[in-house]
Structure formats: C-alpha cells, structure tokens
C-alpha cells in the first residue's frame, strides 16, 4: 500500500467509549506512517484512559479544555480547526454523533468541528442496539448529508459481552481507509459509469425474476474510483446497501431500464458493467396476479433480454475503456474470454460463483482478463478488488496517455 499519510496533519478526537484505548494503537501506526498528530480527549474519554499515556506516546501535550489559557496561547481552537488536513473522531459514541449532527458546541472538540472546513471522519463504536437505534440512524444520515465520512463499525464480540454490529473498525482498516482518502486524484475529469446490483424482470404485479447479486462489488468500485477523483455515476439495481456520497445515483430495475439509464449518460470515459442483469425477460407480463387455481404446473415464456454491455461496447459513443463482469459456474476462463470477444469488451473481471459463496459476501476471488493477458488475483475483500481495478484503470490512462 502506497503511503499517502506522510506529513499529513491529523487531529484525533477521542471520545468516551470503551474502545478508546485502541486509539493508542492508531496513534502509533500513524506515527510510523510519518503523520503529524495532535489529540483532543473529551472529558468522558478521561474516565477511560489516562492523559499521561497519550502525552507520552505523542511526545506533546494533548488538548481538552476549551477555556484553558495556556492551551489558548499555545494553540487556540480556531488554529486547531484550520491547520490540519483531517479530523478523525475515534471512537465516536452515539452521544457525540448526536452532538455533531445537531451542531452542539459545548466543549473544545465540538467547537473545533463546527469551526473547521477540513475533512471530517468518524469511527463509531457502541452497543449493537444503540447502533441500530432509529435516532442514531437519523443522526448518521444527517452527518452523511454534511459530508462527514463514516468508517462503519463491524460485527463481533462487544464490550458488553454480546455479539453484533457496533465494534470499532479494526485499526489497520482505519489506516487503509484514511490512506485512501489522501490518494492522488489521478482520474480527475474522468467520467466513469458503474452498474451494480440485481435487475428485476416482472412476471405479474406481485412476482418477478431476479438473482442473488448484492451490489457490494459494484458499489465498492464506484466508491474507490470516486476517491481517485473520477466523476462517478452509479446505475444501481435492487440492493440493501447504503448509497455512497459524492456519487450520482440512478436507480434502475429491468434490463431495458438499465440500458436506457446507462445510454442516457453517454458519453463517458469508462463503463464498468458490474450489475447482474438478467439474460431473459418474461414474454408476456400479466396485468393481474397469476392464480394457481388447480394447476400443478405453470408455463412461462421467455425472451432474450437486451444486452446492455454489448450495446454500450458497440455504441458510436463507445467509452475508451469497457469492463465487463463474468460470473460462471464452470470453465471460468474459457467462457470469460469468449464473453470478452463477443461483447467487444476491453477487460473482463471473472469469478467462479459455483465454488464458494460470492453473492452477499464481502470477499471475492477474481481474474482480470484482457485481450493479451490473464491475471489471477488472490481472494480478498471486495473493497480491495475495487482498489486493484481502480489502479488498473489509472495505469490504463497513464499508459495510453489519453486525454479528455
């Protein structure tokens, strides 16, 4: 992983959650990356950790009291708010989330957050019931609209002894995500369209044909490309995923709808067809619910669907780079290479969905196939697959010296 954190000025705000001791490991790792760190402990955080421990690790004073004269002379809260590259709240409690969302400024930390226009990130950690509480969800939605980055907690054993969502994101993952935020905007001015999720082909008013696609891989690709500075459009089918920020979202349902939404955005520089779009549609949609009556069998006629990937690949406004996805249960490479040729793609991302669980999983094992080579990547998180694809796209534009 390329280090983009060197010499970055980072302000850590430590709030009073049981996970706040983990911030010591975060500080150590950020120091190893060459980051310049200042730290604020809220009053509640002091109930969990010792100020001296943080000062010993930092080699400098931590900040806490808005009205301490010596601190104001040394570095007032406006200076703390403006002379940093990023502000990270770790762990971020439900109470602190509520304060941020509602503009409360009753201590040094909240005053700085309101006074700062810098990048803001929170890494929540709390009991799973609190994390799923509607008030917390509402406040997180507000922060999302305020462009606050959320490093979502994970599932695991919590401090209360129960298992569920709410565990602080692992420190190495916080480092990776923070590093990604500072990656160079090498795809600036590039317009990239990504499709994701499952299509829906209606049978009657209450039934439809779909598939198991969760949309995770497509969403991760869209988010990664956005971090690289691209103007990203995400045409998404049915998913249960939170919509990414700073990305144009367009909802789609059937294959026909996908094609109309995608083609309506042409021209763009890159097309990534990660959505699982049905090859078939119902020949005749029933306006009324199909009743079972006394029938033991139901016969439905199917027609070939519009091929979105092939249509865009052969469009007169064809993107500079067209990337398809191939989900196979056998003969992965052979079938994927055939798809590459038939669909007139530049690259195919191929994965075998018959061997291990892929749909709905956070992990994937893929091969990147081009017209000249096949690269087999190891099993990794879908977010890491997205990063590797983004890097390949950056290299493509560098190698071909393409200009907008």
Q: Which domains does the chain have, with CATH numbers?
A: 9-181 (3.40.50.1950), 191-400 (3.40.50.10300)
Question: Rounded distance, CA 71 to CA 53, Å?
Answer: 19
The average pLDDT across 106-132 equals 92
pLDDT tens sequence across 263-275: 999 999 999 999 9
CA–CA separation, 402 vs 106, rounded Å? 51
For the cut 70, the answer to whether the pLDDT of residue 135 exceeds it is yes
What's the helix, strand, coil split of the chain in %, to 5? Answer: 35, 25, 40
pLDDT at 159 over 90: no
Provide the pLDDT for residue 75. 52
Q: Is 306 left (phi over 0), alpha (psi -120 to 50) or beta?
A: beta
User: Does 249 score more than 70 pLDDT?
Assistant: yes
**C-alpha–C-alpha distance, residues 350 and 343, integer Å:** 14
Averaged pLDDT for residues 47-67: 85
Which positions ≥6 away from 127 have C-beta within 8 Å? 158, 160, 162, 164, 166
What is the full DSSP assignment across 222-264?
A: HHHHHHTT-EEEEEE-B--SPPPTTSEEEE--SHHHHHHHHHT
- Of the chain, the percentage scoring pLDDT greater than 70 comes to 93
pLDDT at position 212 is 86
* 322 pLDDT more than 50: yes
For the cut 70, the answer to whether the pLDDT of residue 292 exceeds it is yes
Gap between the Cα atoms of 251 and 231, Å rounded: 17
At 165 the pLDDT is 78
pLDDT the model gives residue 200: 95
Q: Which of 20, 92, 160, 183 is catalytic?
A: 160
pLDDT (0 to 100) of residue 69: 45
- Reference 23, options 43, 3, 51; nearest CA is 51
| Pairing verdict, β 149-150 and 191-196 | unpaired
pLDDT in tens, 293-321: 777 788 889 999 999 999 999 999 999 99
Closest CA to 85 of 186, 150, 182: 182
User: What's the confidence (pLDDT) of residue 403?
Assistant: 44
Q: What is the pLDDT of residues 334-361, one digit of tens each?
A: 999 999 999 999 999 999 887 666 776 8
Residues found in the chain: 404
| Rounded distance between C-alpha atoms, residue 350 and residue 377, angstroms | 10
* 342 Rama sector, left if φ>0, alpha if ψ -120 to 50, beta otherwise: alpha
E strands present in 93-190: 119-124, 149-150, 154-157, 163-167
The yes-or-no answer on residue 345 being catalytic is no
Confidence of residue 371 (pLDDT cuts 50, 70, 90): very high
**Separation of alpha carbons 114 and 222, rounded Å:** 29
Helix (H, G, I), strand (E, B) or coil at 164: strand
Tokens of 202: 């209606």
pLDDT (tens digit, 9 = 90+) per residue, 161-212?
567 778 899 999 999 899 989 988 899 989 999 999 999 999 999 999 998 8
Of 161 and 404, which is predicted with more confidence?
Answer: 161
Average pLDDT, the chain: 90
**pLDDT tens track for 218-227:** 999 999 999 9
pLDDT tier at 158 (50, 70, 90 boundaries)?
low
Residue 67 pLDDT exceeds 70: no
Asked if residue 263 lies in contact with residue 312, where contact means CB atoms within 8 angstroms, the answer is: yes
How many Å apart are CA 175 and CA 152, to the nearest integer? 13
Task: Give the distance, in angstroms, between the CA of residue 2 and the centroid of all CA atoms in the same chain.
Answer: 19
Q: Which has more confidence, 46 or 73?
A: 46
* pLDDT confidence tier of residue 77, bands split at 50, 70 and 90: low
Helix axes 134-145, 94-101, angle to 10 degrees: 50
Cα separation, 194 vs 172, whole angstroms: 28
Of 339, 379, 337, 338, nearest to 355 by C-alpha is 379
DSSP string, 51-67: HHHHHHHHTS--B--TT
Least confident piece of the model among 41-50, 248-257, 365-374, 394-403: 394-403
What count of Cα atoms within 13 Å lies in the side-chain half-sphere of residue 102?
Answer: 12
């Amino acid at each position: 992983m390329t280090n983009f954190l060197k010499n970055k000025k980072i302000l850590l705000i430590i709030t009073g959650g049981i996970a706040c001791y983990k911030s010591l490991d975060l500080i150590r790792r950020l120091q190893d990356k060459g980051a310049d760190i200042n730290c604020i402990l809220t009053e509640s955080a002091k109930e969990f950790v010792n100020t001296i421990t943080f000062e010993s690790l930092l080699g400098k004073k931590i900040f806490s009291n808005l009205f301490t004269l010596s601190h104001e002379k040394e570095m007032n809260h406006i200076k703390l708010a403006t002379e940093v590259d990023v502000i990270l709240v770790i762990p971020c409690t439900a109470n602190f989330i509520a304060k941020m969302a509602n503009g409360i400024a009753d201590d040094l930390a909240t005053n700085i957050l309101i006074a700062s226009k810098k990048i803001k990130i929170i890494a929540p950690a709390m009991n799973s019931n609190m994390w799923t509480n509607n008030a917390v969800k509402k406040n997180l939605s507000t922060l999302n609209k305020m462009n606050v980055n959320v490093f979502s907690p994970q599932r695991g054993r919590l401090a209360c002894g129960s298992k569920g969502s709410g565990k602080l994101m692992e420190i190495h993952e916080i480092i990776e995500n923070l590093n990604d935020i500072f990656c160079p905007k090498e795809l600036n001015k590039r317009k990239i369209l990504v499709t994701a999720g499952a299509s829906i082909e209606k049978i009657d008013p209450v039934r439809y044909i779909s598939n198991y696609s969760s949309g995770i891989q497509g969403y991760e690709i869209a988010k990664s490309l956005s971090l690289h500075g691209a103007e990203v459009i995400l045409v998404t089918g049915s998913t249960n995923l939170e919509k990414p920020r700073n990305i144009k979202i367009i909802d789609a349902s059937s294959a026909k709808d996908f094609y109309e939404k995608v083609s309506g955005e042409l021209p763009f520089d890159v097309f990534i067809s990660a959505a699982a779009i049905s090859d078939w549609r119902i020949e005749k949609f029933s306006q009324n619910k199909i009743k079972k009556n006394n029938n033991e069998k139901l016969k439905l006629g199917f027609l070939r669907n519009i091929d979105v990937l092939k249509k865009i690949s052969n469009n007169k406004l064809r993107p500079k780079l067209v990337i398809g996805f191939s989900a196979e249960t056998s003969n992965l490479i052979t079938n994927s290479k055939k798809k590459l040729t038939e669909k007139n793609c530049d690259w195919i991302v191929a994965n075998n969905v018959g061997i291990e669980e892929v749909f709905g999983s956070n992990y994937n094992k893929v091969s990147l196939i081009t017209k000249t080579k096949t690269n087999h990547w190891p099993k990794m998180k879908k977010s890491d697959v997205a990063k590797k694809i983004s890097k390949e796209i950056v290299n493509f534009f560098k190698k071909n010296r393409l200009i907008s």
